[in-house]
Amino acid sequence: MKLDILKIDGSKASKKAELKDDIYGIDPNEHAVYLDVKQYLANQRQGTSKSKERAEITGSTRKIKKQKGTGTARAGSIKSPLFKGGGRVFGPRPRTYDMKLNKKVKALARRSALTTKAQAKEIMVLEDFNLKAPKTADLVKIVNDLKLTGKKALLVLPELNKNVYLSSRNLQGFNCVTTSDLSTYAILNAGNLILSEGALGKIESQLS
């Protein structure tokens, strides 16, 4: 598959980019995508939720009423989960939600996500560029020239570009990542995928 390489002003460059079929033209594996996205979202969870059980509640342990003759259920402590202010039954405890996934499954999921974007014609290749200073207005102009105003977009760079990254932080719906941080979730969550020329080669070396 060949795509026109665009300049930052939205015009076409004199060269084309070739997207390899073994990365952008495979039969998407939906289950691998599901597992990779599930792992990504699970690993974002902090797992710090905690509630107090009856053994951790501050309060008296005296028997609050006699065992028999009250006409109601027996009760031994005010810290019982049955009473207001008592401990919680089977409440959340700190835990880890981390999942492990084989590298080959993750690579297959990423290729599947890229193929899905390619089939939907939601991938564009952009000439490598740099900004003289971190300025959101300059990046907004590029986004407007690429006709992506109001759309979710993900710019993929071969390596960290501080000026571009800082310029994108305040731009709603626009994210900037390097190829090493590119995830299946980020690919699918973006409406349009903008790959810089330099990022193409790195993605191919990582996923081939």
189 phi, psi to nearest 5 deg = -80, -15
Q: How do 12-18 and 2-6 pair as beta strands? A: antiparallel
Strands lying side by side in the sheet with 174-178: 12-18, 2-6, 123-126, 192-196, 153-157, 174-178
Exposed/middle/buried for 30, CB within 10 Å: 0-12, 13-18, 19+?
exposed
Give the pLDDT score at 1. Answer: 81
Give the pLDDT score at 16. Answer: 87
CA 133 to chain centroid = 28
pTM here is: 0.82
Give the pLDDT score at 2. Answer: 86
Joined together, the tokens standing for residue 133 give 């200073």
**C-alpha to C-alpha distance for 105 and 90, rounded to whole angstroms:** 35
> What's the pLDDT band for 188 if we cut at 50, 70, 90?
very high
Domains of the chain: 2-45+100-207 (3.40.1370.10), 49-96 (no CATH)
- Residue 144 carries which side chain, given as an amino acid letter? N
| 3-state DSSP assignment of residue 120 | coil
125 phi, psi to nearest 5 deg = -110, 130
Q: What Å distances lie between residue 167 and 33, 61, 84, 88, CA to CA?
A: 31, 60, 52, 47
Say which residues have a Cβ less than 8 Å from residue 85's Cβ, sequence separation at least 6: 57, 59, 78
Q: What is the number of residues in the chain?
A: 208
**C-alpha to C-alpha distance for 62 and 197, rounded to whole angstroms:** 73
Q: Quick one: average pLDDT of 181-188?
A: 94
Give the pLDDT score at 53. Answer: 94
